[in-house]
Amino acid sequence: MDDSREAGLSPGSNIARAARLIDAVRAAGTRDFCVCAGSRNSPLLAVLGARDDLRLFSFVDERSAAFFALGRAKLHGAPVAIVTTSGTAVAEMLPAAIEAYYSGIPLILVSADRPARFRGTGAPQSIEQPGIFRIYAETSLDTWTRTRPLHLNIEFDEPLIDGDVAFAHPEFPGRPLPRHPDAQDDGGVGGDDGGGRVAGRSPTHPLILLGALPPGHRERVRDFVLRANAAVYAEPLSGLREDPALPLITAGERMIAHARFDSVIRIGNVPTLRFWRDLEERAIPVVHYSDLPFPGLTRGEVHPIAELPRIEGVRDEAFFGRDRAMAARFNDILDAEPESELAMFRALSLQLAEGTRVYLGNSLPIREWDLAASRAPRGFIYEANRGANGIDGQLSTFFGWCDPARDNVCVAGDLTTIYDLGAPWIVPQLGHRRFRIVVVNNGGGRIFSRVASLRAVEPEVRSRIIENAHEVRFEHWAAMWGIDVTELRPDAAASRRAWQRYDELWA
């Protein structure tokens, strides 16, 4: 939306137009506003400050504010707005907008702007704000689908505060905007488009990959998996990784190579497995079922999860016997190397209270939790930013996602934490401290040591430039913000031995 004309707002004072915009956003179901103060957005801030039906969070960093809003939207399932001033402040919201776009999260990006006559002039704090988010945000209130961010850009001329903000009743009542389709619909199963969904044409031996699943779909997917009786790899965000009744692969991703399958059925968001990326080069049929439109590969049509087929299969008990045997041998390795990083992940998963909300930071932690964490059904609730697989804004998203009624734990790597050191700014405004941050400090980006294409790089160069080796400790950072931080410092030699022995299992 560019100025009041595109917002459907009649001309008037800055304050009046700001009030109508805020009320329209409120009518969309938004109660939480993350505000980053500036001069140009002062009409919006003045209006927000006069409202008693909203919750405001104040930030000094727009990027952190946007990721916090992303976490709040995940927590409550409702749109959250970020309000910025003009100029580069708007661009700071782009990383979170990209993540929200690929995750289907409804963020509302409200940017104040200087009048259009200043664009292209090089005037202070004047950049090309309309369209800055390109495909990653819609721009119309009336047609917003709520499946991606919405960008509302409003121009304010001088004088900025040009009206009375102490009004009891906003002038514009607004109207409800389209809601995201209910994920818990009762649609039928099956289909007839030849996409592998009809039982008569279903794959004989599929491999099922479960990515992140909305809670409303999990029972449907669980029933499908039980009927199919095929080998299933369930990522933590599926909510089904610890279900003891399902035919789950438990020995790690490498066990997939030992399964007998003629196709892949992917359900939920795009998986993060290395196997998934390698599928791009393999001539094997892949069928996608997701509420998001992204196949995650350059081929394959995406079908709604509600259209999962009925597949009746027979469980390959021999395969699952081998899987359990390999999982037991892997646990023996962890028993022998308790100071290794993998063993620390297993220990952490056993120490957390049942029902803990676990936020997994990207990069190595999410992969090592998936591999090594206990599979006992402990009622964990998982979340992570896996839309674009970036490491930025992880702690800010976690704080937004924290539920004051539950224990919340963020497991993040050291570089991920360093990337978002200012995130705890919001803690005094949360109203609770039911959270803990666990920093896995292995002295750099050790995930790169396991990337085959980088192993040819000279070790000293790889350590200094690629892995960003460091000796940073986080106790002073924790004290600065007054937050509960647990720092895990695995023994590097033990970690290498554990990974070497794990690799030898599959040699």
Q: 31-35, 85-89, 418-422, 451-455: which has the minimum mean pLDDT?
A: 451-455
Q: Is residue 108 part of a domain?
A: yes
Q: In the predicted model, is pLDDT for residue 173 greater than 80? A: no
Q: Is residue 329 part of a domain?
A: no
Q: Where are the alpha helices (DSSP H) in 50-161?
A: 62-76, 88-91, 94-103
Shared domain for 290 and 260, answered yes or no, is yes
Domain count, the chain: 3
| SS3 per-residue string spanning 291-331 | CCCCCCCCCCCEECHHHCCCCCCCCCHHHHHHHHHHHHHHH
Q: What is the pLDDT of residue 186?
A: 29
Q: Is residue 173 part of a domain?
A: no
Shared domain for 294 and 215, answered yes or no, is yes
Please say whether the dihedral angle defined by the alpha carbons of residues 22, 23, 25 and 26, taken in this order, is positive or negative.
positive
Shared domain for 296 and 410, answered yes or no, is no
Which percentage of the chain shows pLDDT scores above 70?
A: 86
Q: In the predicted model, is pLDDT for residue 325 greater than 60? A: yes
Q: What is the pLDDT of residue 199?
A: 33
Enter the pTM of the model: 0.89
Choose the final residue of a domain: 122, 155, 188: 155
CB of 482 within 8 A of CB of 331?
A: no
Shared domain for 140 and 214, answered yes or no, is no
Q: In the predicted model, is pLDDT for residue 157 greater than 50? A: yes
Mean pLDDT in residue range 405-423: 96
Q: What is the pLDDT of residue 463?
A: 66
Q: 25-39, 146-160, 194-208, 440-454: which has the minimum mean pLDDT?
A: 194-208
Please say whether the dihedral angle defined by the alpha carbons of residues 448, 451, 455 and 456, taken in this order, is positive or negative.
negative
Q: What is the pLDDT of residue 11?
A: 63
Instruction: Give the distance, in angstroms, between the CA of residue 393 and the centroid of all CA atoms in the same chain.
Output: 10
CB of 390 within 8 A of CB of 95?
A: yes
Q: 9-13, 31-35, 473-477, 503-507: which has the minimum mean pLDDT?
A: 9-13
| CATH code assigned at 88 | 3.40.50.970
Shared domain for 25 and 145, answered yes or no, is yes
Reported as a pLDDT band with limits 50, 70 and 90, residue 501 is very high
Q: Which residues contact 385 (CB under 8 A, 6 or more apart)?
A: 67, 70, 99, 103, 362, 393, 394, 397
User: Is the model more confident about 455 or about 286?
Assistant: 286
The encoded tokens of residue 401 equal 């996602």
Please say whether the dihedral angle defined by the alpha carbons of residues 439, 442, 443 and 447, taken in this order, is positive or negative.
negative
Shared domain for 15 and 67, answered yes or no, is yes
Q: 75-84, 176-185, 278-287, 365-374: which has the minimum mean pLDDT?
A: 176-185
| Closest to 427 measured CA to CA, from 394, 392, 402 | 402
Task: Output the average pLDDT for the chain.
Answer: 89
Q: d(Cα 143, Cα 114) in Å, to the nearest integer?
A: 25
| Closest to 486 measured CA to CA, from 379, 371, 351, 336 | 351
Helix H or strand E encompassing 382: strand 381-383
Q: In the predicted model, is pLDDT for residue 381 greater than 90? A: yes
Reported as a pLDDT band with limits 50, 70 and 90, residue 185 is very low
Beta strands in 156-246 (DSSP E): 206-210, 232-234
Shared domain for 266 and 360, answered yes or no, is no
User: Is the model more confident about 189 or about 40?
Assistant: 40
| Residue 486 lies in domain | 337-505
Q: Is residue 253 part of a domain?
A: yes
Q: d(Cα 133, Cα 148) in Å, to the nearest integer?
A: 11
Q: Quote the DSSP letter at residue 465.
A: I
Q: Is residue 189 part of a domain?
A: no
Q: What length is written for the chain?
A: 507
Shared domain for 80 and 53, answered yes or no, is yes
Shared domain for 126 and 256, answered yes or no, is no
Q: Is residue 40 part of a domain?
A: yes
pLDDT digits (tens, 9 = 90+) for 270-317: 998 989 999 999 999 999 999 999 999 999 899 999 999 989 999 999
Quickly count: other Cβ atoms within 10 Å of residue 148's Cβ.
22
Q: Is residue 184 part of a domain?
A: no
Reported as a pLDDT band with limits 50, 70 and 90, residue 444 is confident
Q: Is residue 303 part of a domain?
A: yes
| Closest to 81 measured CA to CA, from 9, 129, 33 | 33
Q: What is the pLDDT of residue 193?
A: 34
Q: d(Cα 359, Cα 442) in Å, to the nearest integer?
A: 19
Choose the final residue of a domain: 155, 184, 210: 155
Q: What is the pLDDT of residue 190?
A: 30
Q: d(Cα 95, Cα 500) in Å, to the nearest integer?
A: 36
Q: What is the pLDDT of residue 183?
A: 30
Shared domain for 213 and 357, answered yes or no, is no
Q: 31-40, 345-354, 359-368: which has the minimum mean pLDDT?
A: 359-368
Q: d(Cα 503, Cα 497) in Å, to the nearest integer?
A: 10
Q: In the predicted model, is pLDDT for residue 3 greater than 80? A: no
Cis before 159? omega within 30: yes
Shared domain for 283 and 246, answered yes or no, is yes
Mean pLDDT in residue range 178-191: 32
Residue type, 405: A
User: Is the model more confident about 453 or about 242?
Assistant: 242
In angstroms and rounded to an integer, the radius of gyration of the C-alpha atoms of the chain is 25
Q: Which DSSP string do the residues of 414-443 spell out, in sequence order?
A: HHHHHHTTTGGGGHHHHS---EEEEEE--S
Q: d(Cα 354, Cα 407) in Å, to the nearest integer?
A: 9
Choose the final residue of a domain: 257, 288, 319: 319
Shared domain for 357 and 305, answered yes or no, is no
